[in-house]
Amino acid sequence: MSDLLTRLRGRGWRMTSQRRVVAEVLDGDHVHLTADEVHARAAQRLPEISRATVYNTLGELVLLGEVTEVTTDGRAKRYDPNAHHPHQHLVCSRCGIIRDVHPAGDPLTGLPAAERFGFTVTEVEITYRGVCPACA
Amino acid sequence: MSDLLTRLRGRGWRMTSQRRVVAEVLDGDHVHLTADEVHARAAQRLPEISRATVYNTLGELVLLGEVTEVTTDGRAKRYDPNAHHPHQHLVCSRCGIIRDVHPAGDPLTGLPAAERFGFTVTEVEITYRGVCPACA
DNA sequence: ATCCTACGATAGACAAAGTTCAAGTCAAGA
DNA sequence: TCTTGACTTGAACTTTGTCTATCGTAGGAT
């Protein structure tokens, strides 16, 4: 994710220790942390980091398109750093574990013109639900 | 939705004025109210109804499969009474209006076995996003 | 290398959405 | 009509997120 840090600096981001730590916490695939979880992990490295800063930084990363928000359970939003690889989510109804998945074809084409009601449709968000092997 | 009332009574529901009013507020298609909106409308007919009762009743209706929860914006959950007619949602990114839509085919088949990671997948929830004619 | 200053961080108050609980009320069967 | 357990109430509480005034500092200017 050092990629991300250089990309952000290139966009005029002022680099602070707080922002660096938040970006590092979000490193990797299949990461779907809530804001509080990001804060907890960031605080392990930088104990004095505040909740407000974590929220601010996450919000900026979303605006920059580096991270996407995912709401799978109507509770806290989760932050998914895998924003440059379009994907959907598969969630276990029992334990809540989340997997990134890739449906066949372009999900947007599944919606016929007659069902678009004049909307200009640009995005699809799909959540598949079921029971994971561990819970079965 | 008097159907609903008789169905519920048949399932042993104790019929109270509060529950009746909540069920009546949720009558109709293309209804996507938040719990607070349900409470506000219910309170027009039954001023002393409490928030807790509205939450309890909505939760029971969801458990009974009569209503589904929809989260389109990461804010309050919305309650969709159209649970017996499988459908998905199309949301305007500007004004937030929600339309029920029906994609072609069974959305579950869009996820190849290789992408299921051993899950038993039973549900799909799709949110299409775009700009509605009024906002364009 | 040091200084400036605007941008970022902080703590704490605030707000929105939802849950819990003890006490009171009432639907429906006897 | 009586009884009883299921239902409702309101207030306090929790969780998640936002706002604001103040303080600190990254990074360009000197």
Q: What pLDDT does A74 receive?
A: 85
pLDDT tens figures, A99-121:
999 999 999 999 999 999 999 99
To 10 degrees, the CA torsion angle through B74, B79, B84, B90? -40
Q: How much is the pLDDT for B2?
A: 56
pLDDT of B3 = 76
- Cβ <8 Å between B127 and A131: no
Confidence (pLDDT) at A42 = 97
Do A45 and A10 belong together in one domain? yes
Q: Are residues A12 and A71 in the same domain?
A: yes
Q: Which element (helix H / strand E) includes B80?
A: strand B78-80
Segment among A47-51, A72-76, B109-113 with least mean pLDDT: A72-76
Mean pLDDT across chain A, nearest whole number? 93
Strands B78-80, B68-70: parallel, antiparallel or unpaired by DSSP? antiparallel
Please tell me whether residues A74 and A93 are part of one structural domain. no
* Percent residues over pLDDT 70 in chain A: 99
Residues A68 and A122 in one domain: no
Nearest residue, CB atoms, B124 vs list A92, A115, A128: A128
Can you tell me the mean pLDDT for A12-22?
95
Range of the structural domain that residue B109 is part of: 88-130
Structural tokens at position A42: 């960031």
Q: What average pLDDT does this structure show over B68-80?
A: 93
Is strand D in 7 Å reach of the CB of B68?
Answer: no
Residue type, A66: E
Strand C CB-contacts below 7 Å: A 13-14, 16, 18-19, 46, 48-53, 56-57, 74; B 9, 14-17, 34-36, 51-52, 55-56, 59, 75-77
CATH code at position A73: 1.10.10.10
- For B35-62, the pLDDT digits (tens) are 999 999 999 999 999 999 999 999 999 9
* Count of structural domains within chain B: 2
In the structure encoding, which two tokens stand for residue A97, read together? 């574990």
> Which positions on chain C have an atom < 7 Å from some protein CB?
7-12, 16-21, 26-28
Using alpha carbons, list the distances in angstroms from residue B13 to A62, A109, A118, B56, B58: 45, 43, 42, 13, 13
Q: Are residues A6 and A68 in the same domain?
A: yes
- Give every strand in the sheet of A98-101, ordered side by side: A98-101, A88-92, A120-131, B120-131, B88-92, B98-101
pLDDT at position A28: 79
| Rounded Cα gap, residues A132 and A81, in angstroms | 23
